Amino acid sequence: MAIAVAFSDSPEGRFAVAHAAQEAMRRREQLLVLQIVDDASSTAEIDALRGVVQAALDAGKVGESPWELRVAEHSGDRVGALVELIAECGAGLVVVGSRRMKPIGKFLLDRSLQRLLIEVDVPVLVVKEPQ
């Protein structure tokens, strides 16, 4: 089985991809980096995204980790597109990054994250950067 990570070019997304790479290497499984885009046909954007992901892996000291980028286009529902992409890739674990939250924020999870936790059929590991 593969380990998938929902990537975004944010501190949380960069931490999540590095954590997912460490987990994939530990388990000796394939790392799939998942990204939902507005237009999947833009090869320049996809190439730029590959560079951003590799830079995040290098910064996390897991730059040598092999990985594969899977991109899907959304039609207004980014979370729905991500759920479909996760199902298609056959991952056994999904890693997502989250911001640190105050107590009320913990009670009221980010709506996208909450929906992802409910709709994905495989375990979801939510990671956040250490303080």
* pLDDT tens digits, one per residue of 33-52: 999 988 767 788 889 999 99
- Asked whether residue 97 is assigned to any structural domain, the reply reads yes
Rounded Cα gap, residues 71 and 67, in angstroms: 13
pLDDT confidence tier of residue 110, bands split at 50, 70 and 90: low
pLDDT at 20 over 50: yes
Q: What mean pLDDT comes out for the span 23-29?
A: 95
Classify residue 2: in a domain, yes or no. Answer: no
Q: What is residue 101's predicted lDDT score, i.e. its pLDDT?
A: 60
- pLDDT score, position 31: 97
pLDDT averaged over every residue in the chain: 88
Asked whether residue 1 is domain-assigned, the answer is: no
| pLDDT at res. 91 | 94
Tokens 């991109």 correspond to 71
Residue ranges making up the domain that contains 51: 11-127
Number of domains in the chain: 1
Q: What is the CATH number of the domain that holds 106?
A: 3.40.50.620
Let me know if residue 71 belongs to a domain.
yes
Residue 16, in any domain of the structure: yes
pLDDT digits (tens, 9 = 90+) for 111-121: 788 889 899 99
For residue 36, being part of any structural domain is answered with yes
Contact between 1 and 29 (Cβ < 8 Å): yes
64-99 per-position pLDDT tens digit: 989 999 999 888 899 999 999 999 999 999 999 987
Length of the chain: 131
Q: What percent of the chain has pLDDT over 70?
A: 89
124-to-28, 42, 80 alpha-carbon distances in Å = 18, 29, 15
Longest dimension (CA), the chain: 42
